[in-house]
Amino acid sequence: MNRRVKMDLFEACEKRYSYRGAYQDKPVPQEDLERIVSAGLAAPSGCNAQTTTFVIVSDPGLLVEMRKIHSMKAVQDAKAIIACVTAKKPVPVYEDQNFEAEDCAAAIENMLLAISALGYASVWIQGHLSKEGRAEKINALLGIPAERTVRVILPVGVPAGEGERRPKKPFGARAWFNRHG
C-alpha cells in the first residue's frame, strides 16, 4: 500500500497529533519508512554533528519482541517502529556544549510531520523507555552499541480510528511579539 498523501507543511503541522490507539492491519512500505527517516536525517543539528541515528524495525519477528518489552497499545499494533538512538554520554561539539537532545528532538518532529503528511499516525514514546529497563532491553534486541541508547521510539501505522486530539492553547496564551506576556 503506497500512501502518497500530499499535504502542505502547515496542514501537516495542524493535523499531527499523538496517536495512542490501534493500527489497521496494513503494512508500512519500506519506501515510506525511508522517506520518514530521511525527513529526520534532514533536520538541523548543532554544529552539524548529526548525532542521532535510527533503527527502523519492520521485521515481524522483531516487532513481536518489541511488543514483549513495551505494552502500550500503539506499540502492540504498530506495523513499524522507528528507534531514535543517541549517545549515553554526549560529547561536546561546541566548546563544552552538546546538543544531542535538541538534535534528536528536531529529527523526531520532522519525522512526525512526515508521518502525518503520508497519512500514517504515531506517538513520541520516551518516558516509558526509562521504566522497567525497557531501553536496555531494546538496545540489546536491536544491537545498539554499549555507548549509545534508544532515546525515543515512534510506532508507525495506519490509524484504526480517529484518536483523541487534545486542544492546543490559543496563540496569545503562548506567543507574543517583542516581550513575553
Query: What is the CATH classification number for the domain harbouring 147?
Result: 3.40.109.10
Give the span between the Cα atoms of 153 and 11, in whole angstroms: 24
In the chain, where does DSSP find H-type helix? 9-15, 30-41, 60-69, 73-77, 100-117, 134-142, 171-174
- Any domain includes 102: yes
Give how many domains the chain has, as a whole number.
1
Range of the structural domain that residue 49 is part of: 23-160
- Any domain includes 177: no
- Is pLDDT of 1 > 50? no
Q: What confidence tens digit (pLDDT) does each residue in 46-86 have?
A: 778 789 999 999 999 999 999 999 888 889 989 999 999 99
- Any domain includes 12: no
- Any domain includes 166: no
- Any domain includes 49: yes
Indicate the pTM of the whole model.
0.89
